[in-house]
């Protein structure tokens, strides 16, 4: 019991340190961006959740093309490393959880929505005002992965891998007319 308490105290301490560091890096980037276009706060080297918070809705855009085999391959490795395959299958075809490769996009199929969903998870996304529009065969919450996927750049590579696995019509690849949010 006693060692358990010590463990908790240690955990609480390190979480506090992490939060302090996050607050520091946020204020540092705010200062550096004074008068700027806002692009600096969305630096892809930053953490996915910081990027999502710093960027207005609808403006997150994947810099990569899924015709770029090198990026797709890196994305596949990152997807496996983050264990996305455990729920969505090795090439995103679904399994216990919805497929990522079909025409149905639960909240929308645009880059911005996918980035936020993966980083924040579905509960936080819904609190941000998004609702389920598309209906997959499996309906359930997706846990946040914004701390598991290390950088915005890694996140875009994973999304590029998802784009490369897409098996529906070209018109609905990015959510079609439902993409506007
Ligand atoms: C514990 C299981 C689980 C893991 C792990 C997981 N997801 Fe999900 N994911 C879900 C569920 C459940 C949904 C459906 C969410 C909803 O309906 O609100 C979902 C939805 C999605 C969607 C939207 C699919 C659509 O049809 O609109 C994408 C994209 C996605 N996940 C990507 C990822 C990526 C990338 C990872 C790894 C970084 C990942 N997921 C890890 C369970 C998971």
User: Where in the chain are the domains?
Assistant: 1-32, 69-179
Is the pTM for the entire model greater than 0.85?
no
Structure tokens that stand for 17 in this block: 């340190």
pLDDT in tens, 125-136: 999 999 999 988
Burial of residue 32 (CB within 10 Å: 0-12, 13-18, 19+) is exposed
Percent of residues in the chain assigned helix, strand, coil, to nearest 5:
50, 0, 50
The answer to whether the CB of 76 is under 6 A from ligand 1 is no
pLDDT in tens, 39-92: 445 689 999 999 999 999 999 999 999 999 999 999 999 999 999 999 999 999
CB 113 within 8 A of CB 175: yes
The answer to whether the CB of 142 is under 6 A from ligand 1 is yes
In this structure, how many other beta carbons lie within 10 angstroms of the beta carbon of residue 8? 10
pLDDT band at 9 (very low <50, low <70, confident <90, very high): very low
Cα–Cα distance measured from residue 181 to residue 178, given in angstroms and rounded to the nearest whole number: 8
The reported pLDDT for the residue numbered 139 is 86
Pick the CATH number of 69-179 from 1.10.3720.10, 1.10.1240.10, 1.10.760.10, 3.40.50.10280: 1.10.760.10
The reported pLDDT for the residue numbered 34 is 38
Cα–Cα distance measured from residue 59 to residue 143, given in angstroms and rounded to the nearest whole number: 23
Structure tokens that stand for 162 in this block: 């998802």
The reported pLDDT for the residue numbered 7 is 46
Atom of ligand 1 nearest to the CA of 96: 2
The reported pLDDT for the residue numbered 136 is 86
CA of 105 from ligand 1 middle (Å) equals 11
The reported pLDDT for the residue numbered 75 is 98
Atom of ligand 1 nearest to the CA of 102: 26
Cα–Cα distance measured from residue 135 to residue 14, given in angstroms and rounded to the nearest whole number: 40
The reported pLDDT for the residue numbered 8 is 52
The answer to whether the CB of 139 is under 6 A from ligand 1 is yes
C-alpha distance across the termini of the chain, in Å: 50
Atom of ligand 1 nearest to the CA of 108: 27
């Amino acid at each position: 019991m006693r060692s358990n308490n010590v463990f908790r105290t240690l955990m609480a301490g390190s979480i506090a340190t992490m939060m302090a560091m996050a607050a520091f890096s946020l204020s540092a980037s705010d200062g550096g961006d004074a008068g700027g276009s806002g692009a600096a706060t969305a630096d892809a080297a930053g953490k996915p959740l910081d990027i999502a918070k710093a960027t207005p809705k609808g403006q997150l855009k994947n810099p990569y093309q899924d015709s770029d085999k090198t990026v797709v391959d890196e994305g596949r490795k990152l997807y496996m490393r983050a264990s996305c395959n455990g729920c969505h299958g090795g090439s995103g075809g679904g399994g216990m959880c919805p497929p990522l490769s079909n025409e149905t996009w639960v909240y929308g199929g645009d880059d911005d929505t996918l980035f936020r969903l993966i980083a924040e998870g579905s509960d936080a996304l819904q609190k941000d005002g998004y609702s389920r529009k598309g209906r997959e065969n499996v309906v359930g919450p997706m846990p946040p992965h914004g701390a598991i996927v290390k950088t915005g750049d890694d996140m875009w590579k994973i999304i590029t891998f998802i784009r490369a696995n897409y098996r529906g019509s070209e018109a609905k690849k990015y959510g079609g007319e439902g993409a506007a949010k």
